[in-house]
Every structure is written in structure tokens, then in C-alpha cells.
Structure 1
């Protein structure tokens, strides 16, 4: 049985089965990337709910695994060097699990390069830009009288959607085959509904994107991953 005692996070969120991957997460667009990937690959795992409250993500136990105090994070008791490994950052987790299983990262080096570029497109573009859109359109930033921040992120969200709309012309999936790029991108598209921002970014004008999200949400592994760990 693997020994995870060197990971302080396991004192606050104990592992019922330390032989399987330990997931520390919450069902946000970033959090569900890890749970969806684990469901898609079929890797055995145990999910621990780490809320977004400071009491959880800024606790010493969680910071011991992720000093950046963001979900998700994982511990794999069967790491690549024969010892447990802890990881944070959703994109890094997707790449790691893809390499571990040989799934959803492409069959060739060229495939992997193309998939990785679209993963980076989400990490550097869609994620932070949509997140700022949510802040300035729905949350505390919506009270700012200056309209320029909202206009900036609304326009950037529209631009990013247009990039996806063009890429998805004639394709079911962003890099041609279902991949970690889709697992990264699609949850953030779903997040526009949470931000109540679909209308302002012209969601219905992007027919390829809307059909793409529907395909993604139809996958059984996605449906499970979206509610893992449960909010309640």
C-alpha cells in the first residue's frame, strides 16, 4: 500500500484508499478538467471536496500541495519514478494524465503539438479572459461605473469565440480528435451560462461552438466529471 504520509494534505483530507489517485477539487471550469479527465481515462481515483473558501484553499494542508492556493490538485501514488507525485495546475494535470495513460493527447508527436497548442489557448486566453468577463459583467466588478473594463472583456470573449468558431468548421473536436484540449476548453464555454453572459457575447451566433458544447456535454464521463466532487 503506498504511503502518502509525506503529503500534509492527507491529514486534513484523509485517503480512504491511498493506492488510487487523490483528487482535491471543486466543480468549477478549472476543477472539472481533472475530474472529467479521470473519468474519461478510467483511472481509479478518490475525490475530496476542497471549497473555494480561504479556510480550505489557504489552509496549510492545501498550500503544502499547491502553494498557489487554487484547485485542482492531485496526488498520484504511482508516480512515473516509482514514488508518489503531487501536481497542481489543471493544464499540467491534463498533460500528466494524458502521458500516464496514452489517451487524449494524440497518436503522434505532431498530434500532441497541435493538441498542446489548443490547451495553451485555453490556459492563456479563454480561462483568464472569460474569468475577467465574469468578474466585470456579473460579480463585484459589475459595480464599477467605468464601462471600459466590461467592454474590453466582452469584446475579447467575442474574439476568442470567433477563433473557436472558425477552428470548429468541419470538425467535431478542436484538434480533430477528442483530446485534453476539449476537456480544457468546453467547461469554460459552459461557464458563460453561469456568468449570465451568453447573450452579451453573441453565443447563439456561433453555431459550430454551440453544437460542439452539446457534443461535449453528451459524453457520460463529462456528465459525471461535472459533478465530481459534489458541491454539497
Structure 2
């Protein structure tokens, strides 16, 4: 089932203002950005900027005054929705000298609250089915800031600091954990299923399953 067939799941377009509002440049830019986030989450990144301007209640030339190209607008959407929700403290939590299960639970509980929203999930999927721009940038972020940290802490937990040949298998195991958290949003905002009633416990279960799987696959030799 493609996201376009479910484009109306739980999503309604904002009502455009009845009259042109007098806004400062900063306020107008934010109005356009907020409208674009809502618009792209419902129609995909192939949605026409002319329709976006109409929905917001501004002229098409005014939109391009603030964002000269559609790519510039999409870049700002990425910064707002994805980079803007990345919390530097998450990296600190993963670097802290605490037990692996504790730090993964702390991270993924907070991460889920940040990402399991219609705009975060749907724009990522739509972009992946279009030009791949946003997923490619976001995966690069995960590959630089998240995956190496979880891999390092998993290797430390397993006592595999010097066993290089297991890297790929551990990385894929991490992707399985991470994708399992993201799938909670897919269920709701792509498939139109009800949101899980106890997300916190589900995340704990998935973190626990990851640790048990890692220990069973690679052994736990740190004593």
C-alpha cells in the first residue's frame, strides 16, 4: 500500500486565512514553512507549490520571494522537521557509562516522542518514493551520530571490542531495532491502523529483544 493511497489518513488540510494577514518577514516565512510541512505530509513532495500557496492563502510569487526554489523549501522542511527534532542530549545519553539496556531505553523513549508524528513519518516516506533527498540526508545523520554509538556500546557489552568481522551483522541488528521503532509510525500514519496503546512498553520490549538477540548471536563475554 503506497502512502499516496492513504494520503488522507487522520490528516486534514489547514483552513487558509480569509484575508491577507500583515505579518513580519520572519512570521511570513514561518507561516509558509509550517504550511509546507502540513502540505507535503498530505500530498507528498511532488505536490505543486502553486497549490501550496493557495492553501496557505498567499500568492505564488510571494512564496517564491521567501523560497526561490522548491528545493530550498524542501531543505528548510528537512531542517525544521528532522534536524530541528534531533536532540544533542541523546548522544550524551548513549555516551554515558550506564547499562546498555538503560541507555537504549532512555534514547528510544525520547526519540519515539519526537518522530512518531504524521509529518515526520509521511514526509520521509514520500521523499523516499520521490527523489530520496530527505531519507538520504537523514540516514547520513544516523550513520554519523547514532549507529556508531549503539554499535560501540553493543560491542562493549558483548566484549567484542577487537572482533572486527562482526561489524556488519551488529549494524544490521541495530537497523532492525531502529526500524522497529519507526514502524510504529508506519502503522498509524501510512497504514491507518490505531496507535499502540502502550508505546513505552513496546519500546522496552524491542530494546530487550535487541539485547537478547545480540547476546545469543555473538555471546556475552564481558563477565
TM over 0.5: no
Band the TM-score falls in, shorter-chain normalisation = 0.3 to 0.5
Structure 1 length as normaliser, TM-score?
A: 0.31
Q: Which has the higher strand share?
A: 1
Structure 2 length as normaliser, TM-score?
A: 0.32
